[in-house]
Amino acid sequence: MLVGTIIYALINSAILALMAIGFNLTFGISGVANFAYGAFYVMAAYGMWLIRNHTALPYPLAVAVMVAVNVVLGALMYRFVLLRLRGQALSEVIATFGIGLAILELFRYYGFVGFEYTLPVFSDRSFVVVGTYVDAQRLFILGFAVVLVACLWSFTHFTSTGLAFRGIAQDERTALTFGIDADRVAALSVAFGAGLAALAATFIIPLGSISPEEGYDVLIKALAVCIIGGLGSSGGVIVAAVIIGFAERFTDSYIGSHWTMLVSLLAILAVLVVKPSGLFGKQKELEERI
Amino acid sequence: MTESPLLEAVELSKSFGGVRAVHSVSFAIQSGELMGVIGPNGSGKTTLVNLITRFVKPTSGKVLFKGETISHLPPHRIVRMGISRTFQMVKPFYQLPAYKNLIIPLYSPRMKMLAGRRYGDRNAVALDLLEEVGFERDAFVAYKPAGALPQGYLKRLELAKTIALEPELIILDELFSGLSLAEVASIVPIIEKLRLEGKTIIMIEHRLRELFRIADRVIVMNYGEKIADGKAAEVMESDAVKNAYLGTENVCK
């Protein structure tokens, strides 16, 4: 049982990391907390479902289309809404949350609720891993999370756009003096985040179904992971996803699944009490206040 | 015929609410010139730099660079055209090692434009740049996080960041402030070398003695207006400048 729990905890961690990575990328670069993130996730999933069930387009193409749509919508949201609110964190949160709320409730209003709304698994085979049954989809998730983290890391370390991202993340004024267009980079960061939400949905939704609630759930999980890890820290996302992922599965297996939420929330509280800016957080003011 | 100036400011003005930070300032700077900008605190020197680099939008007036109007362009575009600046308050990327601070400007759009994709080993270029501004070659200091460097090195790093962009016009905003006499003395030759390479330089300074030694020309700001413009010695003799710096005789008594 222990080995099985560890395997599923690892997968759970990968799911959490996938959910959080887009939100974290956007925040880490431009400081924009995109509270419409969950809505982008769900919207992409519904979009893929609609394309798959109402057009002849092959499914991989549907995924590509929705990732592109999300990227474009993310950039548009930055250009027409966030650009005007830059620097006022609370306004950014209210505006993006409002947009997300509108998107999610619109889907509910038009009746997109039910078990038929789901996305196909990539392969319905399953494997025995160290004596535990694991379906292919979960293995794909694990693999994709690892690949994505590796790709993002090399992107931000070895490409000029990635370096510009990190430059902006550290100090916008300095980045400007290097001839980096801060607004373009911030728009890209929101767009990338939205695109990653679509990719995450493609991998994770097949395990369950699409619903407006999923949007709120993903946002909350992304927030929890990012806050524990330290907002904007990419190393933090991985560590935090592992902490929550293991806490959830181990509570499930050894204490009881009705305690899961409580234990993961306690984990969050414990981290915040000890280190208020998160495990890898850089908000020094928070640290120095206590 | 004199050749057209590299940079020209035409009746630049900026008001912050009711405060006229810069009021109808015009000047031209020829290629290869080193121009000092002096004036008491709050006289609008930094705002003038911010107007040229477009970190602040002018209320009226315009800036021409190589005959083209640039005052409507956003700051990153101005950097790409070849104007780069330092800040009075240095803001390096504190967590990155000193030489890594230069990797971002070396990968920046302007460098891509100038060098294309054949830019060689940028870590080596970064270390060369640091040596140029007076970091000891192969010393540990270039590999230290910028946050751990003393002020003198931070100012040098700031200078290295500006020249990393291979600009035609360099604007140094109080580069010498907060430095000891010895540190200033060691940075002056670096600036002189930049001039020999044909760079045009604008220096805002309070350290007049050092400035006058290297500047071809000085403009004096007071209450947002340009009150004098000319050779350093002439400028210091003018009554307007004496009044601005020392106050009128009545005030002195």
pLDDT at B117: 56
In a 3-state reduction of DSSP, which class is residue B16? strand
Tokens for B203?
Answer: 């220096």
Contact B55 A174 (CB under 8 A): no
Q: Residues A4-61: pLDDT tens digits?
A: 899 999 999 999 999 999 999 888 888 889 999 999 999 999 999 999 888 888 888 9
Give chain B positions within 8 Å (CB) of A29.
Answer: none
In a 3-state reduction of DSSP, which class is residue A249? helix
Residue B1 clears pLDDT 50, i.e. is over it: no
Q: Residues B15-39: pLDDT tens digits?
A: 988 888 999 999 999 999 999 999 8
Residue B119 clears pLDDT 80, i.e. is over it: no
pLDDT at A288: 56
Contact A176 B84 (CB under 8 A): no
Using CB atoms, pick whichever of A164, A175, A178 lies closest to residue B165: A178
Tokens for A212?
Answer: 């407006």
* Strands of B19-29's sheet in order across: B19-29, B7-16, B60-65, B68-69
Q: How far is CA B43 from the centre of its chain?
A: 16
List Cα–Cα distances, B103 to A271, B11, B96, in angstroms: 35, 37, 10
pLDDT at A287: 54
Give chain B positions within 8 Å (CB) of A180.
Answer: 76, 104, 108-109
pLDDT at B252: 45
Backbone CA torsion sign across A261, A267, A272, A278: negative
What's the CA gap between B98 and B92, in Å, rounded?
A: 8
* Backbone angles phi and psi of A114, in degrees to 5: 150, 165
Q: Is B72 exposed, middle or buried (0-12, 13-18, 19+ CB in 10 A)?
A: exposed
Supply the DSSP symbol for B33: -
List Cα–Cα distances, A240 to A103, A111, A139, A192, in angstroms: 28, 35, 20, 21
Give residues 173 to 212 of B whose Cβ lies within 8 Å of A.
none
What's the CA gap between B195 and B50, in Å, rounded?
A: 23
How far B109 CA lies from chain A's nearest CA (Å)?
Answer: 7
Contact B104 A164 (CB under 8 A): yes
Give residues 108 to 127 of B whose Cβ lies within 8 Å of A.
108-110, 112
How far B152 CA lies from chain A's nearest CA (Å)?
Answer: 19
Each residue's pLDDT, cut to its tens digit, for chain A (290 residues) gives 788 899 999 999 999 999 999 999 888 888 889 999 999 999 999 999 999 888 888 888 999 999 999 999 999 999 999 988 887 889 999 999 999 999 999 998 988 887 778 888 887 888 887 878 888 889 999 999 999 988 888 887 777 777 777 777 777 778 888 888 888 888 999 999 999 999 999 999 988 888 898 899 899 889 889 888 887 777 888 999 999 999 888 898 888 888 888 887 888 888 888 888 788 776 655 555 55
User: What pLDDT band is residue B240 in, cutting at 50, 70 and 90?
Assistant: confident
How far A180 CA lies from chain B's nearest CA (Å)?
Answer: 5
Backbone CA torsion sign across A200, A159, B159, B134: positive
Query: Considering chain B, what is the average pLDDT of its residues?
Result: 86
More confident residue, B48 or B106: B48
Beta bridge partners of A132: A129
Q: Residues A89-100: pLDDT tens digits?
A: 899 999 999 999
Q: Which of B50, B81, B104 to mutate to test the interface with A (most CBs of A within 10 A)?
A: B104
3-state SS record for B152-204 = HHHHHHHHHHHHHCCCCEEEEECCCCCCCHHHHHHHHHHHHHHHHCCCEEEEE
Q: Residues B168-181: pLDDT tens digits?
A: 999 999 898 888 88
User: What pLDDT band is residue B118 in, cutting at 50, 70 and 90?
Assistant: low
Q: CB A12: neighbour CB atoms within 10 A? A: 24
The pTM of the whole model exceeds 0.80: no
pLDDT at A282: 65
Residue B106 clears pLDDT 70, i.e. is over it: yes
How far A82 CA lies from chain B's nearest CA (Å)?
Answer: 18
Give chain A positions within 8 Å (CB) of B94.
Answer: 170
Q: Which of A156, A158, A178 to mutate to test the interface with B (most CBs of B within 10 A)?
A: A178
Backbone CA torsion sign across B125, B127, B132, B133: positive
User: What percentage of chain B reaches a pLDDT higher than 70?
Assistant: 93
Q: CB A14: neighbour CB atoms within 10 A? A: 27
Contact A179 B110 (CB under 8 A): yes
How far A93 CA lies from chain B's nearest CA (Å)?
Answer: 27
